[in-house]
Structure 1
Amino acid sequence: MKVARQAKILELIENEEIETQDELAKQLKESGFHVTQATVSRDIKDMRLIKIMSKSGRHRYAPFRDAGGNQLSERIVNVFRESVVSIDYSGNLVVIKTFSGGAMAASVAIDSMEWSDVVGCLAGDDTIFVAIRNQDKVVDVVEKFKKLMK
């Protein structure tokens, strides 16, 4: 339940400008997660979420990154690791299969990685298509994803 809830948190903060714990708790409740403010607070701490300034000028929750700007917190990597079932590729597309409902959270982690070889990704319910800039780099990117799963 915790992994699913934290995966939903990643999805929510990626798609919404959530400024407060109350807003996050409300969104989680609307998504079917019965949480208290204390649970949300623990999740924020556990996932090392921070507040950043959004384009609209509001503060919003976002994943913490190190000074290099391209490292995911351990918790976000864990959400990716625990969501992904398999990884395959064809041409310049990587296809990542997740448990049902896990694709959005895993894609948030992929987007947060900001790998230069990744053009972007498209997530459904249990499948993510990741477009790779150069077909020669596909195997390298697949290996990076597989390392995250270990």
Structure 2
Amino acid sequence: MKNRRQSFIKEIILQKEIETQEEITSILQDKGIKVTQATVSRDIKELGLIKIPGNNNNYKYVLGAEQPVGHNSQRLQRLFKDYVTKMDYSENLIIINTVPGGAPSVASGIDSVDWKEIIGTVAGDDTILVIVKPKEAVNTVLCNFRGLME
């Protein structure tokens, strides 16, 4: 049942711009599939669906792999310009300071670009720890980060 439901969800978002989980729930129920919004929410997470800008100034669900090329790096650049206030490093660690509340969004943006030198991020409220491997790549990563702020 779960596989069938998730197949329908993929089919639905490929055929139509879907903005909300409630829309998916309603369409599935119209097809005779008994489902709750909570179940749809879990399915969305398992399927890796994301929301991207659609037509008419709204957001629509798409499969994660359908994200436009450059979307993640454009988002990261916007996040750096809007939130990052300072950066410093030591060995293989980079510390990024942000405006209060900005660190989780910036860390998520860093994670989404999937740079091979970055093995992970840890975010607090206004500080991000970026772990770089190998440590010789720290200057390259830092230069890339600084470039995002220009």
- RCO greater where, 1 or 2, for CA within 8 Å and sep 6 or more? 1
Distance 1:137 1:124, change over 3 A: same
Deviation at 1:91, TM superposition (A): 0.9
Distance 1:83 1:133, change over 3 A: same
C-alpha RMSD of matched pairs (Å):
3.2
CA distance in structure 1 between the aligned counterparts of 2:74 and 2:58, rounded to whole angstroms = 8
| Alignment correspondent of 2:86 | 86
| Alignment correspondent of 1:52 | 63
**In the comparison of the two structures, how many residue pairs are matched?**
103
Residue 75 of structure 2 corresponds to residue 64 of structure 1: no
Deviation at 1:72, TM superposition (A): 1.8
CA distance in structure 2 between the aligned counterparts of 1:107 and 1:127, rounded to whole angstroms = 9
Deviation at 1:50, TM superposition (A): 4.9
Q: Secondary structure at the match of 2:136?
A: helix
Q: TM-score, normalised by structure 2?
A: 0.57
More helix per residue? 2
Deviation at 1:131, TM superposition (A): 0.3
- The amino acid across from 1:126 in the alignment is D
Distance 1:91 1:82, change over 3 A: same
Unaligned stretches of 5+ residues in structure 1: 1-18, 24-40, 54-61
